[in-house]
Homo-oligomer: A and B are copies of this chain.
Amino acid sequence: MIQGKVTGQVWSSRHLETLPKGALLEVEVAGNKIVAFDPLGCAPGENVLITTGSVAAGHFTEFKAPIDALIIGSIDDT
């Protein structure tokens, strides 16, 4: 998994019908920006743990979602 910091949200009015409802967050990972589906309700500035690839899509068990990056946890401050 990779760690990143939430930097914003991405909105897409015109999208595939199979895109799950929920937030698509922009996350900075080692200087690069990716977009991850957020089932946990994370906020900007939060450090999160992200899983990628077909493992991310496996979260959606009732239909085939075109999601290849998923926030699986909020990282505790230490």
Binding site for B on A (CB under 8 A): 1-3, 10-16, 18-19, 24, 26, 30, 32-36, 39-40, 49, 51-59, 61, 64, 66-70, 72-76, 78
Q: Give the copy number.
A: 5
Contact A53 B73 (CB under 8 A): no
Q: Which residues of the other chain, B, contact A36 by a CB distance below 8 angstroms?
A: 1
Specify the chain B residue showing the minimal Cβ separation from A10. B75
- Partner of A3 from B10, B14, B39, B58 at Cβ < 8 Å: B10
Contact A54 B53 (CB under 8 A): yes
Give the distance in Å from the alpha carbon of A64 to the alpha carbon of B64 in the complex.
14
Contact B11 A68 (CB under 8 A): no
